[in-house]
Amino acid sequence: MAPVPEIEGAVQAARAGYAEVVLVGPQDLLDRELAARDARSLKIEVVHASEAVTMEDKAAKAFRRKRDSSIRVAARLVRDGKVDGLISAGNTGAVMTTAKILLGTLEGVDRPALAQVFPSSKRGKATVLLDVGANVDCKAIHLEQFAVMGEIYCRKILGVAKPRVGLLSNGSEPHKGNELTREALARLNNAPLNFVGNVEGRDLFNGRVDVIVADGFIGNVALKISEGLVDAVSALLKEALSSSVSSKVGYVLSRKAFRGFKKRLDYSEYGGAPLLGVRGACIICHGGSNANAVKNAIRVAAEFSEGRVNEKIERELALASLSKN
Amino acid sequence: MAPVPEIEGAVQAARAGYAEVVLVGPQDLLDRELAARDARSLKIEVVHASEAVTMEDKAAKAFRRKRDSSIRVAARLVRDGKVDGLISAGNTGAVMTTAKILLGTLEGVDRPALAQVFPSSKRGKATVLLDVGANVDCKAIHLEQFAVMGEIYCRKILGVAKPRVGLLSNGSEPHKGNELTREALARLNNAPLNFVGNVEGRDLFNGRVDVIVADGFIGNVALKISEGLVDAVSALLKEALSSSVSSKVGYVLSRKAFRGFKKRLDYSEYGGAPLLGVRGACIICHGGSNANAVKNAIRVAAEFSEGRVNEKIERELALASLSKN
């Protein structure tokens, strides 16, 4: 089966001039799909990969066994400097494992972190949460590195001049937190960041801060709670709005407003989750991504590379480390 | 200023015959308010307390300094067996501290836990999450005790015959989790419960399980993310629906459906969060609770006491402990 959102997204991104795109996968299939889309004049190249990692594959096993998987071939292209970054809407664990091993980490980074952009109720404001799942057990120094990486991403990709950074905790007062966050709070208070201290779960959606730092266990729970609640709210609304004739008519009249509302909640507008801290750009899209999400992920990968985000991360981490000695 | 939701809630609960209510606070004020509500024939007694803990007070300090606070007077009434339980919509930290110290914990309980009922997208299904904030750093044995307490609460108060219990983790597979949850998973697999293993954040709202166990740090973050997201969604919807004439008309036509929708999301229908594991019933309502929430909390406290929830918790914990030796 053809990976339609990926192909469509690549075509749209190439048409928009975001980047020169290399599609990695079964050569025959991809050539045929591109031809069917009249995309031969676009800057899209195909590199063959004979295997595919499935959503059911275990990350470490897939890495060892499927040496010619599209994820691994793409990562080799990045490692060898043939492309600047990779995008995948495949198995998140496998992409992270492959990227960490083949690309390696930046100078000063102990653990790469997965960042997710959340929409907020304040127009034009979004909040970056990291780590949303790359590192389950973290130390305070890792959270500090996540803060530096997230701040630069927010500045360079989301265009926020002086991002406000917060630490996810069970209350905003400085005495709140668990063992890990209390130690991280002390570190972050001394870091060269616009750090506002502890923030709460509700601050993920109200635009109070631009970057929120958490360990990958909490970050992942936070992400999935948000996704689950949005699904539940949608289902409940739909049920409520189909319960009577007048509410059905009401729904038809307000349909455009609902579409705008859903678009504001749609993470795909932000173009996937960057794995920060590896060499090269690595953007991981949700398994159910549409062409628009893939197109935006390609745009973000290009901006990531052109904005020299990784160089800035290495420089800031060196400064942060110097300021401690 | 009179605590109107508490007084109204007490009057409604007494009218409904849920319980005999004792209101604790400034005698003059409460007598006057009850007289104004024509409530003299109802089973409502007033016990005087000269002080009040504010939302700004620190829990431990309030406990030491305000020896005649309404929270403390109410807890003494429970301790001395004059009432079966207490309800407060005040400072959560102060209520928990006061209840833990004055009431003491049940046999077999190391740490009381705060439980919150979440609505789900499946009609008639709700999910109890605990701990949502009483214990920031937990051990695996505490999570096991939370599971036993939550299961009994779900059975006796929510009326679920054989509650399904899950452990909040970053994935549903058994190898997922952090140090704490991996250890807790092993314990829970051997506990005399209908335990389904790891669950994800999204399972808080889809009715897959009836009880979800987490440490109080994660549980609190989960609760506040949910509250924050519901607020953000409401604000976004309101904005979208007031953006054009047709969507405004649509909103008016579908208003009744929206009210039903909001009611399903309204935690107050479930009557506050029980602090499980202390002697007596202790139900903590949200600071912004309305009379309906207080009334339902009184109903729940009465059911808690009549259902002998605490006796059952002590018995089950003794059994769970026996089965290990």
Residue A268 neighbours by CB under 8 Å, 6+ apart: A285, A286, A289, A290, A292, A293, A296
Is pLDDT at B242 greater than 90 in this prediction?
no
Is pLDDT at A265 greater than 70 in this prediction?
no
Is pLDDT at A325 greater than 60 in this prediction?
no
Question: Which one-letter amino acid corresponds to residue B5?
Answer: P
d(CA B201, CA B209): 12
Identify the CA nearest to A118 among candidates A33, A229, A195: A229
Is pLDDT at B121 greater than 80 in this prediction?
no
| Residue B246 near residue B161, CB atoms below 8 Å | no
Whether A93 maps to a domain, the answer reads no
d(CA B293, CA A242): 28
Whether A287 maps to a domain, the answer reads no
d(CA A224, CA A221): 5
Largest interatomic CA distance in chain A: 70
Is pLDDT at A266 greater than 70 in this prediction?
no
Instruction: Write down the ipTM of this complex.
Output: 0.88
What's the start-to-end Cα distance of chain B, in Å? 55
Contact between chains at A244 and B250 (C-beta distance less than 8 A)? no
Whether B196 maps to a domain, the answer reads yes
Is pLDDT at B263 greater than 80 in this prediction?
no
Chain B interface, best mutation among A58, A114, A127, A136, by max B CB count within 10 A = A136
Is pLDDT at A101 greater than 90 in this prediction?
yes
Whether A190 maps to a domain, the answer reads yes
The DSSP bridge partners found for residue A195 are A165
Whether A133 maps to a domain, the answer reads yes
Question: Which one-letter amino acid corresponds to residue A182?
Answer: R
Is pLDDT at B149 greater than 90 in this prediction?
yes
Question: How many domains does chain A fold into?
Answer: 1
Give B77-97 pLDDT, tens digit per residue. 999 999 999 999 989 999 999
pLDDT, mean of residues A218-225:
94
pLDDT, mean of residues B95-103:
95
Kindly state the percentage of chain A with pLDDT values over 70.
95
* Domain assignment of residue B183, given as a range: 118-270+307-325
User: Chain A: nearest CA to B307, how far in angstroms?
Assistant: 32
Contact between chains at B220 and A170 (C-beta distance less than 8 A)? yes
Residue B260 neighbours by CB under 8 Å, 6+ apart: A240, A243
User: Chain B: nearest CA to A245, how far in angstroms?
Assistant: 9
Give B6-21 pLDDT, tens digit per residue. 999 999 999 999 999 9
Whether A247 maps to a domain, the answer reads yes
Whether B99 maps to a domain, the answer reads no
d(CA A35, CA A15): 15
Query: A–B: how many Cβ contacts below 8 A?
Result: 204
* Whole-number pLDDT of residue B277: 98
Question: Which one-letter amino acid corresponds to residue A4?
Answer: V
CATH code (residue A163) = 3.40.718.10
Q: Which two tokens stand for residue B46?
A: 């007033």
Chain A interface, best mutation among B261, B263, B266, B286, by max A CB count within 10 A = B261
d(CA A191, CA A198): 14
A287 secondary structure, DSSP code: T
Contact between chains at B228 and A203 (C-beta distance less than 8 A)? yes
Whether B236 maps to a domain, the answer reads yes
Count CB neighbours of B175 within 10 A: 10
Contact between chains at B229 and A228 (C-beta distance less than 8 A)? no
d(CA B165, CA B181): 14
* Whole-number pLDDT of residue A153: 96
When mean pLDDT is compared across A196-210, B137-151, B218-232, B254-268, the lowest value belongs to B254-268
A291: left (phi over 0), alpha (psi -120 to 50) or beta: alpha
